[in-house]
Structure 1
Amino acid sequence: MFKLGVRAHDIGKYSAKELSEHVLSYGFEGVQLVFKKAIDTPVDFNDLTEIKKYFGTKPEIFMLGAYFNPVHPDLEIRNEGIEYFKRQLEIANSLNAKFVGSETGSLMGTPWGYMPENHTQETLDKVIEVFKDLSLTAEKNNSYIAIEGAYPHVASTPERVKEIVDKINSPHLKVTVDLYNFLNLENYENRMEILDRSLALLKEHIVIFHLKDFVIEGEKLKQVGLGKGLMDYKAIIKRIKEEVPSAYLIFEGVKKEDLQESYELISSLIK
């Protein structure tokens, strides 16, 4: 059944030992780990002793976060991101990390904001080309990618995520579903229908769900603690349990002061 995890840097930036202790103190079984944001000293990819000592079994590493912009207009920045992602794929097994994750980027560069051109077929094809190459690296290293859609980005809908997965057709390319990321002011009332489309289209590929909640504030969506917003988590967990009961559930962007209450809510719903 479900295992609950947290994006580690939402707890804070600590030594590997301290971070592990904090994660376990909340009750989480695993993490989404972004080295640069969660570990307070540089991580040497040639000596992962400290990470292995405190992560990998308890808590597990559900995902190594190596998010980069695969269509960044600055080729140097884009290529640096690709190489960093490949390096994470190469070390994932040694850390018992289940997946290495990224979103699909934006032609805006930095920040990864919405541009109409993001949603063209031409841009989607560029993302497919990048992740096809990364999938070969994953296959070579017996590691796994988790790709994540978001409305402002290139894979703006479940359908576009499905096209990436279908065209690459690699058993080493999996999917993270972040329902909140697919939402905007025009479609947020259809969030359960978007979840159902995600499940119908991507069920066999989904390995992670990001859990977020939100309210509408000042003509925009604003994240809040789980159970404090418009998401119906009783219904959401029920649907996930029916369709993908093996998925990892990761809290992402939940503020530290809301983590315990959010954890208690989701724990009660997955029993």
Structure 2
Amino acid sequence: MKHLGFRAHDLGTFDSATQLASAIATYGPSIPIQLAIRKVLRDAPMSSSYTEAFIKNLHDELAAKGASVAVFGCYINPVHPDKAIRDEQLSSFEQHLKFANLLGCPLVGTETGSLNADCSFHPDTAEPKVLDVLYRSIERLVEAAVKYDAIVGVEAVSKQHTISTIERMAALVEKFDTPHLKVIYDPINLVPWTGLAEQDGSSRGKPSIEAQRTFVNAALDAFGPRIAALHVKDYRLDSNGYKIGDLPFGEGVFDWKDLFSELRKRSIEVPALLENANPATLADTLSLLSTY
């Protein structure tokens, strides 16, 4: 059975954990979510001010309505060009790791950043020296994850972020060969900016199933056993042939049914979380995905 859910903040923002839990429960009796506390709860404290009482109350309110946290979101820039800010963000991530198990979710997720403070594209992000900074940041976070018996979840983004390709993600998980580091697999994020390559090197507006399977299998061969969560959205190419990669599921060209079939073949069963979902159509989307 699939574990289908969504990002909590796609439902909006709420005044209390009780309101949030009630909103999630309208979509089913047992829903996994991605939770970024300050994106979804008004007046939520900074991570430096988290307390056991606050996190436990949040867990209990969600659990009372059947909701559970599959990814504890703390999306930072671990290669931020300002070292002081980078250290501050890494400390915030460590705080999330500290409280993760109390929330019922050991997995704390982040992307891998860029040389621009806002994580936008910078032409030098792929340089080896930036990768070295990322590795040092990940090493620090993994040490904290070991201390708190938690998990660092890493998500790649093509071209834009430090971990931008299947090969780079494979190298990362090989370097940090530990159960305290896992992959948040977002296949749309990994689609190259000019789309999926066909066998002859061309790129189509709607890729062939062969091109998609080559792309998916390369990722699953490289790090499939390390996947801890799946992000579900869609993409298409614009009139200039560049990826629009933040579309809701079903509004693009990616064949999710085929991907779920491949995941079943490989016995990869992880929470699948919708991104950029529309609350008005979310119930129908979850219902459709359950048939895939």
Q: TM-score, normalised by structure 1?
A: 0.92
In 2: Cα distance, 1:216 partner to 1:2 partner: 29
Between structure 1 and structure 2, the one with the greater Rg is 2
Does the 8 A contact of 1:2 with 1:245 survive in 2?
A: no
Instruction: Give the letter aligned to residue 221 of structure 2.
Output: A
Unpaired runs of 5+ in structure 1? none
Aligned equivalents of 1:133 and 1:222: distance in 2?
Answer: 31
**1:196 and 2:217 correspond:** yes
1:95 alignment partner in structure 2: 103
The one-letter code sitting in structure 2 at the alignment partner of 1:63 is: V
Question: C-alpha distance in 1, partners of 2:40/2:110?
Answer: 17
Q: What count of residue pairs does the alignment treat as equivalent? A: 268
What amino acid is the match of 1:17? T
**Is 1:21 aligned with 2:26?**
no
Measured in 2, the distance between the counterparts of 1:42 and 1:166 equals 37
Could you tell which deviates more after superposition, 250-259 or 143-152?
A: 250-259
Q: Of the candidates 65, 68, 71, which is equivalent to residue 73 of structure 2? A: 65
Q: Is the aligned partner of 1:142 residue 2:142? A: no
Deviation at 1:99, TM superposition (A): 0.6
Distance 1:137 1:10 in 2: 29
Q: Once the two structures are superposed, what CA deviation does each residue of 1:78-125 show, in whole Å capped at 9, x if it has no partner?
A: 111100000000001111113100000001112x11223212222222
Q: Deviations over 1:139-158 (max 9, x none)?
A: 11111111111111010011
1:214 corresponds, among 235, 240, 244, to 235
| Equivalent residue number for residue 252 of structure 1 | 275
Residue number in structure 2 paired with 1:268: 291
Match of 1:41 in 2: 43
8 Å contact kept, 1:215–1:223: no
Q: In structure 1, what is the equivalent of residue 116 of structure 2?
A: 108
How far 1:197 sits from its partner (Å)?
1.1
Of the structure 1 ranges 51-60 and 260-269, higher mean CA displacement relative to structure 2 is found in 51-60
Q: Match of 2:32?
A: 30
State percent identity of aligned pairs: 28
Larger helix proportion of the pair: 1
Instruction: Check conservation: 1:70, 1:82, Cα contact below 8 A.
Output: yes
Task: Classify the secondary structure of the residue corresponding to 1:116.
Answer: coil
- Structure-1 separation of matches of 2:137 and 2:248: 35
Cα RMSD after superposing both structures: 1.8
Any conservation in 1 of the 2:35–2:69 contact (CA below 8 Å)?
yes
Matching residue of 1:10: 10
Q: What SS does structure 2 have at the residue aligned with 1:119?
A: coil
SS at match of 1:55: helix
What SS does structure 1 have at the residue aligned with 2:81? coil
User: For the structure 1 residues 204 and 222, does the alpha-carbon distance in structure 2 shift closer, same or farther, using more than 3 Å as the test?
Assistant: closer
Task: Sort the Cα spacing of 1:229 and 1:187 in 2 relative to 1 into closer, same or farther, 3 A.
Answer: closer
Indicate the residue corresponding to 2:127 in structure 1.
Answer: 120
Structure 2: 5+ residue runs without aligned partners? 197-206
* Separation in structure 2 between the aligned mates of residue 208 and residue 192 of structure 1, nearest angstrom: 19
Partner amino acid for 1:8? A
C-alpha separation between the residues in 1 aligned to 2:247 and 2:175?
A: 36
- TM-score calculated relative to the size of structure 2: 0.86
8 Å CA contact 2:6, 2:273 repeated in 1: yes
Query: Cα 1:218–1:131, aligned 2, differ >3 Å: closer, same or farther?
Result: same
User: CA offset at residue 198 of structure 1?
Assistant: 1.1
- Residue by residue over 1:189-219, the C-alpha shift from the partner in whole angstroms, topping out at 9 and shown as x without a partner, is 4444222111000011011110001233344
Q: Which residue of 2 aligns with 1:238?
A: 261
Cα distance between partner residues in 1 of 2:213 and 2:106: 28
Residue in 2 that maps onto 1:168:
176
Residues of 1 paired with 2:174 and 2:229: CA distance? 18
- The letter for the 2-side match of 1:241 is R
